[in-house]
Amino acid sequence: MPRIEDLVQIGFTPIQAKHLGVVTDGVEGTFSALTATGTTQGTGYAIIGNYNQFTTVAAGANAATLPLAITSAYGAIVVRNSDSADNLILFPGVGDTINNLAANTSIVIPPGASASFYRISNTKWIATLSLDTAAIVNQTEVDFGATPVSNATFTVTDSNVSATSQLIAQVAWEAPTGKEVDEIEMDDLQIRCKPAAGSFDMYIETADGSYLADKFKINYLVG
């Protein structure tokens, strides 16, 4: 009997393939040891199962694409990124949406994370993300310069950040380069972050409008 994935490759819909074929792992709808392909919606690995584990994700081959919601054989799909280093870029089918993002917009599944997708209409999936490991606190050091300023924006490069990431940042209670820790205790920093692909802008000012100079260490989380 042919495999489900082979039937899909030659033109059967996922629903047809589910009834006519068998799965590689012997458990209906379960696919493990998958390899991501391409970087776009059209070149990403075409997901057809309801549990899909990716073990190989790499730069230039880090994408996967959900089936169209209207033709998917499953109303709930789990995608796991078991790669240890690279983000998995997950696209909806052409014209479909994930959460409240624009049509065809991807989400990022970090290494060691799983995303669950629930079909709520013929064109929309709702996604939830879960991490296996504790959150990792990242740190960067920013420099306002020797001349005091009221605010500044810094661009931080981080490959784990995407345009849809959520960021939390605060000043670290730690002596920055060229300062003692007691020099920062009176500075009440207000920090706002704007994510982009592979980086984010960090806008910093003080709560009372006072001026800032020299360096600060900033801790941040990416979700």
- Whether 214 contacts 144, CB under 8 Å: yes
The enclosing H or E element of 19 equals helix 14-20
Pick from 23-32, 91-100, 171-180, 191-200: least confident: 23-32
CA 112 to chain centre: 11
- Number of structural domains (the chain) is 2
47 and 104 together in one domain: yes
90 and 156 together in one domain: no
106 and 178 together in one domain: no
Q: Is 17 helix (H, G, I), strand (E, B) or coil?
A: helix
**Residue 22 confidence (pLDDT) above 60:** no
- The pair of three-digit structure tokens given for residue 15, joined into one six-digit string: 């629903």
pLDDT for 37-94, tens place per residue? Answer: 999 999 999 998 889 999 999 989 999 999 999 988 888 899 999 998 899 999 999 9
- The pair of three-digit structure tokens given for residue 141, joined into one six-digit string: 């050091």
Q: What is the CATH number of the domain that holds 19?
A: 2.60.120
Overall pTM > 0.75: no
Rounded to the nearest 5°, which phi and psi values hold at 73?
-75, -10
92 and 20 together in one domain: yes
Please compute Rg for the chain using Cα positions: 22
Residue 94: CB partners within 8 Å, gap ≥ 6?
41, 42, 68, 104
75 and 178 together in one domain: no
187 and 218 together in one domain: yes
124 and 155 together in one domain: no
pLDDT for 194-213, tens place per residue? Answer: 999 999 999 999 888 899 99
76 and 186 together in one domain: no
- Asked which of 131, 155, 174 is the last residue of a domain, the reply is 131
List the domain range (segments joined by +) for residue 41.
Answer: 4-131
Q: What is the CATH number of the domain that holds 186?
A: 2.60.40
